[in-house]
Amino acid sequence: MDKDILNRLKSEGNIKNDIVVVPFESIKTASLQGIPEKTLEIMLLEEGFVPERYERNIGTFGISGQLLLLKSSILVVGCGGLGGWNIEILARAGIGHLRLVDSDRFEAHNLNRQLMATEATLHRQKALVAAERVREINASIDVEAYPCKFDDDTAKDLIDGIDIAIDALDNNRSRRLLFEVCRTCDVPVVHGAIGGFVGQVKVVMPKDPHPLEIFGEDAPDKGIEVTLGNPPQTPALIAALQSNEAIKLLLKKGHILKDRLLWIDIEHDEWMSLQLR
């Protein structure tokens, strides 16, 4: 039965730019016969056919790369400013499994910058709203929402089975825990932080020192964002760079921000690659 459905889908494909693209509606219809959309998409990609939703990814990721993304799992810790934009990009990229963690609810002061914050979602739990958004974008993705704190009691279970963690946190205490538990679990972390016009991004591999180790125990729990705030454009930019690093890690690209911290000041248009010692 699965083979018959797959053959029918393949027969409905159209050649576009030297790849065979299977229409979105065909996959939706086939999934009504009991085979999950994600399973159908994986089966198609394994045979060199491209689900229409990923057509514009293929020139960059390749068919094998898209297949890798669909079989990958990412944890996003924090579903607010950085987290919301990361979640949006990762869902559209076709990351097959997203685990979303945030204990907060949307408040009016989030409306200026947090993608999932709308007048309709105020006072709702961020993780649940974010999961709904993922399902609206890509029903093929397995998405888990955890409206809980990321702390000593939950961290290990939340990281279990994950390929990469995205640091979208707003405090260094939780960040330090994320770095340390991911080191124990052999999971890379894509770090991001913002404040005013300034942001930073770094990939922290499990065997490498993380930024808070380098800065020592005296690193404050909060940074310049306390006084400068967070305008809408900075989290969107830094989250795009974080998602890009996560995708490059999954695709095994050689050039990642592993040994450097990318520091950006978009007020003065300065981008600096800093060696941390």
Q: Distance of alpha carbon 99 from its chain centroid, rounded?
A: 9
pTM exceeds 0.75: yes
Identify the pLDDT of residue 226: 61
H or E element, residue 233: helix 233-250
Average pLDDT over residues 55-82: 98
165-199 residue pLDDT tens: 999 999 999 999 999 999 999 999 999 999 999 99
Dihedral over alpha carbons 165, 67, 247, 205 (to 10 degrees): 50
| Mean residue pLDDT across the chain | 94
Nearest to 259 by CA among 202, 201, 219: 202
Q: 255: pLDDT confidence band, cut at 50, 70 and 90?
A: very high
- For the cut 60, the answer to whether the pLDDT of residue 1 exceeds it is no
Q: What is the DSSP string of 119-142?
A: TTTTTSBHHHHHHHHHHHH-TTSE
E strands within the chain?
14-16, 19-22, 49-51, 73-77, 97-101, 142-146, 164-167, 189-195, 198-204, 260-265, 270-275
- Whether the CB-CB separation of 87 and 98 falls below 8 Å is answered with yes
Neighbour tally for 14: CB within 10 Å: 10
138-171 residue pLDDT tens: 999 999 999 999 999 999 999 999 999 999 999 9
46: tokens are 């394994």
The amino acid that residue 43 corresponds to is M
Q: What is the DSSP string of 63-122?
A: HHHHHHHHT-EEEEE--SHHHHHHHHHHHHHT-SEEEEE---B--GGGTTT-TT--TTTT
**C-alpha to C-alpha distances, 6 to 45, 170, 269, nearest whole angstrom:** 11, 45, 50
- For the cut 70, the answer to whether the pLDDT of residue 272 exceeds it is yes
Determine what percent of the chain is predicted with pLDDT higher than 70: 95
- Whether the CB-CB separation of 203 and 112 falls below 8 Å is answered with no
